[in-house]
Amino acid sequence: MRNILLTLSYIGTAYHGSQVQKNALSVTEVVQNAMETVLHRREDVKGCSRTDSGVHANRYCMSFHTENPIELYALKRSLNALLPDDIGVLDVQEVPEDFHARYSCVGKRYVYKIHTGDGKDPFLKGRALDYWPPLDLAKLQKICDLFVGTHDFRGFCSKKTDIEDTTRTIYRCEVARQGDLVLFTVEGDGFLYNMVRILVGTLLRVSEGKLTEEQVKRALSERDRSLAGITAPAHGLYLDEVFYTRPAYWNEKTNGKDEE
């Protein structure tokens, strides 16, 4: 039995997230359809995380077991020939028998793109949040610094979550300008449902003067969702990297989970 790891990239606009759903098209379902054509069997695929409807991925990982002897390069080329233009296979590799795309993961990096230019960029339509008010990055970085470390992020996740342990460790959280784009980048050992989008929405409300640094601190310490910001739209969010080994610049990792 072989254990195969697929690394994908996709534009999530047309899909209701990564996870298979009964009444909506997902990224995983489309990939499984292509795999079934190539492998002549519908294999059980394990995704590295759940992404919301409209969220994109620069790198998304899936693992599955198969007895099919197909060469890896042939699997990659065949899948890419069958998949639609908004989903691509970047890499295919064999991994140890006990590897699991989700449970072997030690952390992830998300990037949220905010388009601040006053012109219309058709290449960013549905792939970045259009936002014209000025952003004070130095002020926002001070808020980002509050999130670094191990915290209970109950106040920064959707009320729909049924996860009991909402403590996560954030190793990197920063904002940076890249031309007309402002990029919010966050790395951690796990993320709660809507957590990254709420962090971004909180930054936007701080920038607008509708939230203060003290209120953000209270949202963290009191675990109060009502004190945090809005949930930023999904279309600006990208799963950017999936870590299976801990980067050297991270501190010692704690046990984390992911629900974003």
157-204 pLDDT tens trace: 987 777 889 999 999 999 999 999 999 999 999 999 999 999 999 999
Tens-digit pLDDT profile for residues 69-118: 999 999 999 999 999 999 999 999 999 999 999 999 999 999 999 999 88
Phi, psi for 195 (deg, rounded to 5): -60, -50
Average pLDDT, the chain: 93
Q: Is residue 253 part of a domain?
A: no
Residue 23: predicted pLDDT: 84
Pairing of strands 2-10, 237-243: unpaired
Residues 6+ apart with CB under 8 A from 55: 12, 17, 18, 234, 235, 237, 238, 239
Same domain, 118 and 166: yes
Query: Residues of the chain with pLDDT > 90: what percent?
Result: 86
Q: d(Cα 194, Cα 20) in Å, to the nearest integer?
A: 18
Q: d(Cα 3, Cα 37) in Å, to the nearest integer?
A: 18
Q: Is the pLDDT of residue 147 over 60?
A: yes
Which pair of structure tokens corresponds to residue 147? 């999130």
Tens-digit pLDDT profile for residues 18-64: 988 888 899 999 999 999 999 999 999 999 998 889 999 999 999 99
Residue 17: predicted pLDDT: 87
Quote the number of domains for the chain.
2
Residue 12's domain comprises 2-94
Same domain, 36 and 133: no
Cβ neighbours of 212 (radius 10 Å): 12
DSSP code at position 248: T
The structure's pTM equals 0.93
Question: Cα 246 to the chain's mean position, in Å?
Answer: 17
Residue 20: predicted pLDDT: 85
Q: d(Cα 188, Cα 105) in Å, to the nearest integer?
A: 11
Q: Is residue 256 part of a domain?
A: no
Q: Is the pLDDT of residue 249 over 90?
A: no
* Contact indicator for 10, 127 with CB cutoff of 8 Å: no
Q: Is residue 158 part of a domain?
A: yes
Same domain, 127 and 55: no
Residue 162: predicted pLDDT: 75
Mean pLDDT (whole number) for 150-159:
93
Residue 60 maps to which CATH number? 3.30.70.580
Q: d(Cα 122, Cα 246) in Å, to the nearest integer?
A: 37
Tens-digit pLDDT profile for residues 206-228: 999 999 999 999 999 999 999 99
Which residues are annotated as catalytic?
Answer: 52
Residue 253: predicted pLDDT: 45
CB-based burial, 134-154: b 16+ in 10 Å, e otherwise = ebebeebeebbebbbeebebb
Residue 135 maps to which CATH number? 3.30.70.660
Same domain, 35 and 9: yes
Same domain, 55 and 120: no
How far is CA 97 from each of CA 1, 3, 48, 101, 146, rounded to the nearest angstrom? 8, 6, 16, 12, 39
Phi, psi for 242 (deg, rounded to 5): -120, 120
Residue 260: predicted pLDDT: 54
